[in-house]
Amino acid sequence: MKKRKELSVFSEVIQRDIITDLKLPDHASKADIEFWTSDYDNIENNLLLHEPTIRNRIGYDLTYGTGFAFVADDIVIGMKREGFVAYDSEFYQMYDSHYMQAISTLWSWLNSSDPPTEQKRKRCYAFSSALHNGLNGGEKDGYGYKLHKEASIALDKLMKSEGPASPYRSLQIFYALFNFCFDLR
């Protein structure tokens, strides 16, 4: 039987890599404000990854370090620009989980050096879906791709061995998951 892959290579993270807050642009909706300012205590809820740390890192990177949050209107523009199917901004404002999956899909697309192929697109979806599982306590609706399943199982293994992650450790796991999905180990 083939041994499953594990998340085992973790990059160094320094304090300035952890973005504690982002400014909201003037055109941010009430839902955007709620998404970017919610501070769910994932450690108390026994979830693996600390959502505000991951969310803020993605938002910061998507705006190229401007310190402004990436709002729903930006998601629609970015997803369409990169060839992804995008809902309208009201949809992302209504559903936090889709908001997070869209920005993590876009983040992985822009941070991967792979050429723009269908394989890269699948890797981005696998990454964002597995990340969603890590933020929300495991897979509940099935797996979209074999890679999604493998990445989610690797996250589950970490949850069982380490328990809830601190913000620092969450960022390490976030980057390790990206490397796992893009085979950069």
pTM, 2 dp: 0.90
Domain extents in the chain:
21-181
pLDDT in the model for residue 2: 46
Q: Tokens representing 23?
A: 């400014």
pLDDT in the model for residue 1: 38
Question: How many angstroms separate the CA atoms of 51 and 57, rounded?
Answer: 10
Instruction: Determine contact, residues 102/80, Cβ cutoff 8 Å.
Output: no
Question: How many angstroms separate the CA atoms of 67 and 56, rounded?
Answer: 9
In tens digits, what is the pLDDT along the chain, a chain of 185 residues? 344 588 887 889 988 899 988 899 998 998 899 899 887 655 455 567 888 999 999 999 999 888 888 899 999 999 999 999 888 888 888 887 788 999 999 999 999 999 999 999 999 999 999 998 888 776 566 778 889 889 888 888 888 888 888 899 999 999 999 999 998 65
Strand partners, 68: 23
* Number of helical (H) and strand (E) elements in the chain, helices listed first: 8, 0
CB burial readout 136-159, b (16+ within 10 A) else e:
beebeeebeeebbbbbbbbbbebb
pLDDT in the model for residue 40: 64
CA dist 116 → 108, 128, 145 (Å)? 12, 17, 18
